[in-house]
Amino acid sequence: MNSALDIYAQSEHLLGIEESTQLLHSIFLTLLEDEGIGSVLDIGCGRGGFMCQAEASGIVCSGIDLSHVMVEAAQRKGLDVTCKNICEVKGQYEAAVAIFDVLNFIAPDALKQFLSCVADVLKEGGLFIADVNSEYGFRDVAEGSMSAEDADSFLNVNAVYADAKLSTEFTLFHKQENGSYLKSQECIEQYYHSLEALKHNGVLTLVEDHPLSLYDVDDKMLLIFQKKQ
């Protein structure tokens, strides 16, 4: 179990990201439909929101995530989702996607191995589509503090960007049946990857890269890779 990702999963409904998530899902689905993709692996699929939309469009989907909380939620929807990392996946797909910062959770020294494992699950000429935070997105948009609450939970988030790494501390208080609150606290780390580092990965060809404005102007990049033939 990845406790850091699980606390994110338990806090996700308090983060106010629903609109941004839907925008990304729409962008990724349009790209897959335009390319005539028939099968896709959703890496870091979360609760399976994108998979539901893709399957409704006739795309055969499988998903993986490292959070048991997310995987169990997706499985309750009847989706083909398992808790494993990309290097454990068998089978081949016409495309793979990594939506909403998934690549930023990969440390720089593990990036080439991650992309190599992505290449292994793609058919020849297959596509890998991902988004990543720009340095501006980390430094000027993501850094800072926020709090949110509902009837059962209180969340405080504090994010600091330094040395090409965003360290975000999640502190979650969740109401128990007896009226007391259970405190959970974890630090999640994300990493800035330069476009040059992403280009020179050794296994996948970066065929397109576009600035993407999610919360601010050009706070993200949209990347399309292709498996070398």
- Domain limits, the chain: 3-133+193-227, 137-191
Tell me, yes or no, if the two domains 3-133+193-227 and 137-191 fold the same way: no
**Can you tell me the distance from the alpha carbon of 225 to that of 127, in angstroms, rounded to the nearest whole number?**
6
Beta bridge partners, 41, equal 62, 96
CA 212 from centre of chain: 15
CATH-assigned architecture of domain 3-133+193-227: 3-Layer(aba) Sandwich (3.40)
pLDDT exceeds 90 at position 22: yes
Among the listed residues 188, 195, 198, the one whose alpha carbon sits nearest the alpha carbon of residue 136: 195
DSSP string, 109-173: GGHHHHHHHHHHTEEEEEEEEEEEE-HHIIIIII-EEEEEE-SSEEEEEEEEEETTEEEEEEEEE
pTM of the model: 0.95
Read off the pLDDT of residues 159-206 as tens digits, 9 standing for 90 and up: 999 999 999 999 999 999 999 999 999 999 999 999 999 999 999 999
Which three-class secondary structure state does DSSP give residue 1?
A: coil
Find the mean pLDDT for residues 4-27. 94
Read off the pLDDT of residues 87-126 as tens digits, 9 standing for 90 and up: 999 999 999 999 999 999 999 999 999 999 999 999 999 9
Q: For the chain, give the percent of residues with pLDDT over 70.
A: 99
The CATH number of the domain covering residues in 137-191: 2.20.25.110
pLDDT exceeds 90 at position 3: no
Contact 205, 130 (CB under 8 A): no
**Can you tell me the distance from the alpha carbon of 47 to that of 17, in angstroms, rounded to the nearest whole number?**
14
pLDDT exceeds 70 at position 1: no
Cα distances (Å, whole numbers) of residue 189 to 22, 97, 108, 119: 24, 21, 12, 25
The per-residue pLDDT for 2 is: 66
Cα dihedral 120, 121, 127, 128 sign: negative
Rg (Cα) of the chain, in Å, rounded? 18
Q: For the chain, give the percent of residues with pLDDT over 90.
A: 97
Read off the pLDDT of residues 37-46 as tens digits, 9 standing for 90 and up: 999 999 999 9
pLDDT exceeds 60 at position 18: yes
